[in-house]
Amino acid sequence: MALSQKTKETLLGPLNANNPVVVQVLGICSALAVTVQLKPALVMGVAVTIIVAMSNVIISLLRNTIPMRIRIIVQLVVVAALVTLVSEVLKAFAYDVAMQLSVYIGLIITNCILMGRLEAFAMTNKPWDSFLDGLGSGLGYAWILIAVAFVRELFGAGTLLGFRIIPESWYVANGGFYENCGMMMMPAMALILVGCIIWAHRSLNKEEK
Amino acid sequence: MNTNSNTYTIVYATVVVIIVAVMLALVSQVLGPRQQANVELDQQKQILGALKQDISNCADPAALFFSLVKDTLDVNGHPVYVAEVEGEPKFVLKLKGAGLWGGIGGYLALNKDKNTIYGANFNHESETPGLGALIVELPFRQQFEGKHIRNAEGEIVSVAVLKAGTTAEGQEQVDALSGATITSTGVSDMLKANLAEYAEFLNNVKPCCGHCKKHDEGKCCQHEAEQAEATEAQIVTE
């Protein structure tokens, strides 16, 4: 399927030039909270992508009927319903995952990216475009999360997805020379890493603009 | 149609909320039994964890649970699971407390002397991954094994969770998790508070070493059992 220029921009824009985290600076709060390890970051990325895409479609379908004065409330109801639905389904069919993620699933409701996309895009665009926009924004958010979590888990705990990467024998405790960077475990480090990504991103994109 | 009129707005909001409420209620009703079953299974798995059973390759944890846990007692509304592991009776107490972001809980398995910890298992609602959430991992839990919840005088003093390098007065201790001070303190407080709740059970029924005031695991109980046997033998011979 060939994508038109506009479709491509809608879908791929948020991955780089219009990234929700590093350009729009949305969803920073959860980017700090869930990036200590790679696994929750991955699942959070997937969950947010699904929920942004779905709520974008629903709001886009309803966009001409929603009364302007309560549009935020309607958006919130749709998002909250979807998040509750996902959480209930997880509890019934993947209890272990639900237990690990309970707090993050709930946190999706307050993720600024959702409200941002609903308000800025879905309210004025057709369902298919909104779906692509949601997908793109979700993925744009996910890759930043994964990049930050990758660095934090690798240097903070010496593992990736729970598998040991830095050998045990390197550690000072075992007579080696290496020690985990405790700073990586602190939320502040996520902010610093996001800052570094924004810095790199801006210097790379300067010429294009 | 004027989508900005008051009537439209109120009707719209009502309809949206009713649709969403009905949908969520339906989903909750349909999935409820399955979720309940999951919660129960999870609880059984946690108790098995406190009893140091490796269930990672266990096909049917529920069956294992019922083969080990013989009885459930009720102590002022708190459950005590009476299990038997390798022929030895174990008492599993349920713990409930508060961590940093939300509730924490767990199960503590005691040997029959009601003093030595056989195994511990913890759970949490929303502690930070990589920090407070580490209370569920083996390295932290295993520290509790073999610790005693009573002091030399036989009083229930619990086990303290303390930063490595500090010493607890008059009670045994395990190392706290670095970077998770509040969660660690939460575990410590939870143990103390819950053991106090269970005091009636723990002090009840001839604390196995009532007469010799020693709490060395097994020894005294055996001593007592030997005595009982001897008395019995005496009666028989008489």
Mark whether B122 and B186 lie in a shared domain.
yes
Q: For residue A77, give the nearest of B17, B41, B126 by CB distance.
A: B17
Give the predicted TM-score (pTM) of the model.
0.68
pLDDT of residue B202: 85
How large is the average pLDDT for residues B196-225? Answer: 56
Q: Flag whether A4 is in a domain.
A: no
Interchain pair B12, A67: CB under 8 A: yes
Sign of CA dihedral B56, B28, A43, B122: negative
Mark whether B188 and B153 lie in a shared domain.
yes
Mark whether B83 and B156 lie in a shared domain.
yes
Query: What distance in Å separates the CA atoms of residue A59 and residue B17, rounded to the nearest whole number?
Result: 14
Burial per residue of B20-54, b for 16 or more beta-carbon CB atoms within 10 angstroms, e otherwise: beeeeeebeeebeeebeebeeeebbbbbbbbbbbe
Q: Flag whether B15 is in a domain.
A: no
Q: Flag whether A13 is in a domain.
A: no
- Does residue B23 belong to the interface with chain A, where contact is any CB pair within 8 Å? yes
Segments forming the whole domain that contains residue B211: 206-238
Q: Flag whether A6 is in a domain.
A: no
Contacts of A125 (CB under 8 A, 6+ apart): A60, A133
Mark whether B160 and B215 lie in a shared domain.
no
> A203 to chain B nearest CA, in Å?
33
Segments forming the whole domain that contains residue A98: 26-205
Q: Flag whether A8 is in a domain.
A: no
Total number of domains in chain B: 2
pLDDT of residue B217: 41
Mark whether B145 and B60 lie in a shared domain.
yes
Task: Give the count of Cβ contacts less than 8 A between chain A and B.
Answer: 80
Q: Flag whether A177 is in a domain.
A: yes
Please report the residues numbered 107 through 126 in chain B whose beta carbons come closer than 8 angstroms to any beta carbon of chain A: 123, 125-126
Q: Flag whether B41 is in a domain.
A: no
The yes-or-no verdict on residue B213 having pLDDT over 50 is no
Helix or strand holding residue B80 (H, E): strand B78-85
- Model confidence at B4, in pLDDT bands (50, 70, 90)? confident
Q: Flag whether B153 is in a domain.
A: yes
Mark whether B111 and B143 lie in a shared domain.
yes
Q: In chain B, what is the greatest distance between 2 CA atoms, to the nearest angstrom?
A: 103
Q: For residue A36, give the nearest of B34, B123, B129 by CB distance.
A: B129
Q: Is the distance from CB of A8 to CB of A121 less than 8 angstroms?
A: no
Total number of domains in chain A: 1
Q: Flag whether B34 is in a domain.
A: no
pLDDT of residue A3: 62
The yes-or-no verdict on residue B21 having pLDDT over 90 is yes
Q: Flag whether A16 is in a domain.
A: no
Mark whether B164 and B97 lie in a shared domain.
yes
Q: Which residues of B touch A156 (CB under 8 A)?
A: 130
Q: Flag whether B9 is in a domain.
A: no
Please report the residues numbered 124 through 163 in chain A whose beta carbons come closer than 8 angstroms to any beta carbon of chain B: 153, 156-157
The yes-or-no verdict on residue B62 having pLDDT over 90 is no
Mark whether B142 and B218 lie in a shared domain.
no
Q: Flag whether B131 is in a domain.
A: yes
- pLDDT tens figures, A140-155: 889 888 999 999 888 8
- pLDDT tens figures, A56-79: 999 999 988 888 888 888 999 999
C-alpha dihedral (B127, B132, B133, B139), degrees to nearest 10: -160
Interchain pair B31, A36: CB under 8 A: no
Interchain pair A93, B131: CB under 8 A: no
Q: Flag whether A67 is in a domain.
A: yes
Mark whether B176 and B230 lie in a shared domain.
no
Mark whether B74 and B192 lie in a shared domain.
yes
Mark whether B133 and B231 lie in a shared domain.
no
Taking each continuous run of H as one helix and of E as one strand, the counts in chain B are: 6, 7
Mark whether B138 and B119 lie in a shared domain.
yes
- pLDDT tens figures, B117-145: 999 999 888 787 778 888 988 889 999 99
Determine whether B63 is exposed, middle or buried from the number of CB atoms within 10 Å of its CB (0-12, 13-18, 19+). Answer: exposed
pLDDT of residue B219: 42
Comparing C-alpha atoms, which of B105, B192, B109 is closest to residue B150? B192
Q: Flag whether B36 is in a domain.
A: no
Query: What distance in Å separates the CA atoms of residue A138 and residue A48, rounded to the nearest whole number?
Result: 6
Q: Say yes or no: ipTM exceeds 0.90.
A: no
